[in-house]
Amino acid sequence: QYKISFLTITIIFVIVGISSALMLTRPLLRSIDLLGEGVDRVSSGDLEHKILFSGLACEEFVVLSHSFNDMTASLRQAKQQLDDYSRSLEKLVRARTRELEETQAELLTQAHEAGMAEMAVGVLHNIGNAITPVKVGTHLLIKRLRENPLRTNLQESLLAIPAAILSAPNM
């Protein structure tokens, strides 16, 4: 009978111990579940999620949840700054692209104008080459006319023309 009593008391102590352990650890497990759920939601991208302090088992969990909420607030702020920077960077890239396109169009126009000027220079050079012999011939003709004896005797030569016309046989 001593053994049955000892076994009964042991079983009662084990049951009371397990029940006490379950009752004491349930709030801890619930607090750990709340913290775990918060971590899962934030890691999935929900930076607006805050861990509520009510229902946490001990002061350490409350401090941990405060730190966690502060961390998510910092992450939200950093994400907002990155988004703002990204938008301003996109605007800057669009503005620079527009400037580059305008510069490219201007360079294309300048290249076209330079090509046209080069063609004009070539045409003028060719015209000059064609005119040079005419100019040289004109100078020679003027020189010969200045030195021609007809110039000095022009009056006499003009008087001889009507007489030559009148004496010419009729055709």
Q: What phi and psi values does residue 39 have, to the nearest 5 degrees?
A: -65, -45
The pTM assigned to this predicted structure is 0.48
Q: How far apart are CA 25 and CA 58, in angstroms?
A: 11
**DSSP 8-state secondary structure symbol assigned to residue 168:** S
Residue whose structure tokens are 């709340």: 34
- pLDDT tens digits along 153-163: 767 777 777 77
The pLDDT tens digits of the residues spanning 36-89 come to: 888 888 888 888 888 776 766 678 878 888 888 898 999 889 999 999 999 999
